[in-house]
Amino acid sequence: MKHTSVVEDYLKAIWGLQQIERPVATSRIAERLDLTAAAVTAMIKRLADQKLVRHEPYRGVILTPAGELSALRIIRRHRVLELFLTETLGYEWDRVHDEAERLEHAASDELIERLARLLGEPERDPHGSLIPTAEGTVDREKLPALPDLPVDAPAAVVEVRVQSPDRLRYLGSLDLFPGAEVMVREQAPFGGPLSVEVNGAARVLARELAEQILVRPASRDEPSGDASPAEDAPGKAGAA
């Protein structure tokens, strides 16, 4: 079933927030979408009437199976478009989110599937986020964040959960793309910054940002990750 762009934005926002908290407070939805609490409350009632969410008074909302399927389909559109923009059109990774936001509601399912085939049926977008399948499923793998690594334990960056263009540009300047080899050398106490090694170079990273970087620890008998080197990451392509 095709939904309006507004409904799709709500479903996508709720799905993302559900990965952090469940049920999702309406205040968190309002914050994510930059809307008033009253506007969100009214829309939640409409979504509940359409059987897309279940509203628990004084607690928040949860996507129904139908709502989650619709959310994953729009997320697939968004992430395939992001990858197409970087790999085929040369966009940098800090520019693709807003562009994909504008395109995702107009793109047909057929177009997205053709793009996915062109890209080789990719599993992750330019930021390392998993791309849901065409059937609306997604891997639930839990990965540690960079601060969760033991000191001197090698790992590879898998996903960067940052949307701010300024922050993405900054992380790119540190070479912290998916595929980068990383190692925590020191963690300052009381929530202080991390001293890390990125592809062999010493860096200092704020803990708030480090917590948005998911990694895969290297096995004992392998180098730090099987992802492609950071210099081949799509985020480093030139702007279109």
Domain spans, the chain:
5-63, 146-235
As a whole number, mean pLDDT of residues 212-231 equals: 64
Residue 140 neighbours by CB distance under 10 Å? 7
Q: How confident is the model at residue 134 (pLDDT cuts 50, 70, 90)?
A: very high
Report d(CA 112, CA 78) in Å as an integer.
9
* Architecture of the domain spanning 5-63: Orthogonal Bundle (1.10)
Q: 167 burial class (0-12, 13-18, 19+ CB within 10 angstroms)?
A: middle
Q: How confident is the model at residue 220 (pLDDT cuts 50, 70, 90)?
A: low
Indicate the SS3 state at residue 182.
strand
CB 178 within 8 A of CB 130: no
CB 129 within 8 A of CB 161: yes
pLDDT tens profile 26-80: 999 999 999 999 999 999 999 999 999 999 888 899 999 999 999 999 999 999 9
CATH T-level assignment (fold) for domain 146-235: SH3 type barrels. (2.30.30)
Residue 85, phi then psi, degrees to nearest 5 = -65, -40
Q: How far is CA 120 from CA 27, 79, 83, 124, in A?
A: 39, 14, 11, 11
CB 71 within 8 A of CB 63: yes
Whether pTM > 0.95 for this model: the answer is: no
Closest CA to 26 of 71, 62, 73: 62
